[in-house]
Structure 1
């Protein structure tokens, strides 16, 4: 087999593996990165490097792998844009966590977010109590959006990563 075709096929396989892994492990992992997340990304990139280029450690081999990743990413994003079905397969949907002051504990449990973590995020958005929240959503990028207030709705944006804890989901 042509060594560059081998790099193309290996790179696509690694890319698809990473998309599937991120889909399985959830959108919470895509939000702001902490030290452990940066270390994980560095180790993953190092561990899959040889899987993409094999024994070809030449400049051309590395550039072919990078070009394949950029091209495949572009194609994937175009396909996601054009096909709602494909987009839903690759990307998760936003989830409502609070609606009109009522917490959706099933959604919190699904996302493994404790009540204490949710309270912390609400306070970080400048809201004192979940009952003041009109809408709280876990967005597709892993961030939580909060809309609060009565007549004058106020939306705040705060990048916050939710970490898994052993805390309870019940209030």
Structure 2
């Protein structure tokens, strides 16, 4: 039983380490993984596997580790939904990219969105000029939502973010 308690403690430690690391490194769009992201996840899973189960490579040891990860994930999700403080601490928040036709270059830079990606998101939804965008937001799931038109005739569309870029020249 002592061996399984060790696995439980190790799994909980690795889970919270990964949760904090993802928050610190700002990975907002896990639903849109590129090749480098997939490689990173595979390497991390391989690197932390031994940290979770130690020398116990048995089937039961692996199943205990998997069960603990599922349980802790379930508990954390419930906890985040019930606690506004911890929800705000762990989860990303939507960010305004464009407001009334004006791009927020500080936010775009922070989120690594370049002018080409912003233009692509606008074109995907039939918006030719940035001045026609009433509001563009980076949602917590990595989508870029775009609202165009006047208050009487608003149109909202979503753009699924595919990759990160760092060049912001010419975003107007």
Is this contact kept in 2: 1:136–1:146, CA < 8 A?
Answer: yes
Do the aligned partners of 2:144 and 2:161 also contact (CA within 8 Å) in 1?
yes
Give me the whole-angstrom Cα distance separating, in 2, the residues matched to 1:158 and 1:166: 19
- Going from structure 1 to structure 2, the CA distance change for 1:64 and 1:138 (only over 3 Å counts) comes to same
Look up the match of 1:154: 155
Q: In structure 2, the residue corresponding to 1:87 is in which secondary structure?
A: helix
Gaps in structure 1 of 5+ consecutive residues: none
2:121 is matched with which residue? Answer: 121
Q: How does 1:66-85 map to 2 (within 5 A)?
A: 66-85=66-85
For the Cα contact (< 8 Å) 1:4–1:61, is it kept in 2? yes
Unaligned runs of 5+ in 2: none
CA contact (8 A) 2:109 2:166 kept: no
TM-score (norm 1): 0.91
Structure 1: distance between partners of 2:170 and 2:63:
47
Q: How many residue pairs are counted as aligned between the two chains?
A: 171
Please list every run of at least 4 consecutive aligned residues from structure 1 whose deviation after the TM superposition is greater than 3 angstroms: 166-171
Q: TM-score, normalised by structure 2?
A: 0.90
Which residue of structure 2 aligns with residue 11 of structure 1? 11
1:136–1:145 contact (8 Å) kept in structure 2: yes
Q: Say whether 1:165 aligns with 2:169.
A: no
